[in-house]
A and B are shown apart, each in its own frame.
Chain A
Amino acid sequence: ELKVEQNPLFLSMQEGKNYTIYCNYSTTSDRLYWYRQDPGKSLESLFVLLSNGAVKQEGRLMASLDTKARLSTLHITAAVHDLSATYFCAVDLYILGNEKLTFGTGTRLTIIP
């Protein structure tokens, strides 16, 4: 059974600081997604990582994937208040033509002025 673990679960950081959220998973997969969720809202797609070594950046967020280590990271640079949200990683298992995403437990990020 695929397990996806994120850490930390909760993160408070000051504006302007840098931090990294980690996503470990237990089964071989070469596809990983990062989503953002604001309270009471749905999931917003941030990054789609499709191969080992993939790195994508959008604004102050950068995501990477190491399929050999079964690890993805979401790095936040010079945090601003607008980034406060819950961030989920999700691993795509594609078995026998069937797709499903297995999500991590989420990291609740709070940016403090």
Chain B
Amino acid sequence: GAGVSQSPRYKVAKRGQDVALRCDPISGHVSLFWYQQALGQGPEFLTYFQNEAQLDKSGLPSDRFFAERPEGSVSTLKIQRTQQEDSAVYLCASSLANRNTEAFFGQGTRLTVV
């Protein structure tokens, strides 16, 4: 596709439910990033993939958060046993491998935990 695509756009989950958020990066982009954006805040880094390798997961807030990119393209962010504090917009971004190129962001998934 022309841009980074994320689904679903909106997700309402009951506390304790597991959720899976999908990201389709721009075709050919090697690098993929997940960010969490709480209401009224700037995005915060969660994790980074280069192809299928997860090179940095230092931003994942707890072991309930898990991300994968098994074939180096589509990525899934999974949150187990969701809590209210997980409510946020989850943004995915992708870029070419060259560090001098910018990252392009998807429209995000707005997760609301009730």
Q: Which residues of A contact B (CB under 8 A)?
A: 4, 31, 33, 35, 41-43, 45, 48, 50, 88, 90, 92, 94, 97-106
10 pairs, CB–CB < 8 Å, chain A vs chain B: A31-B99, A42-B106, A42-B108, A45-B104, A97-B50, A98-B55, A98-B56, A105-B41, A105-B42, A106-B41
Interface residues on B, range: 20 to 34
Across the interface, B99 reaches (CB within 8 A) one of A99, A102, A104, A106, namely A99
**Complex: A50 Cα to B98 Cα, angstroms:** 13
Specify which chain A residues have a CB less than 8 angstroms from the CB of B48 in the assembled complex: 98-100
**Complex: A106 Cα to B40 Cα, angstroms:** 8
Smallest beta-carbon distance A17→chain B, Å: 25
Could you count the A-B residue pairs with CB atoms below 8 Å apart for me: how many are there?
56
Smallest beta-carbon distance A39→chain B, Å: 11
Q: A31's closest neighbor in chain B, by CB?
A: B99
Q: Say whether B106 contacts A99, CB under 8 Å.
A: no
Smallest beta-carbon distance B24→chain A, Å: 14
Q: Tell whether B31 is near chain A: CB-to-CB under 8 Å.
A: yes
Q: Say whether B33 contacts A100, CB under 8 Å.
A: yes
Specify which chain B residues have a CB less than 8 angstroms from the CB of A100 in the assembled complex: 33, 45, 48, 56, 59
Those 3 A-B pairs whose CB atoms lie nearest each other, nearest first: A103-B42, A43-B105, A98-B56
Specify which chain A residues have a CB less than 8 angstroms from the CB of B102 in the assembled complex: 33, 45, 48
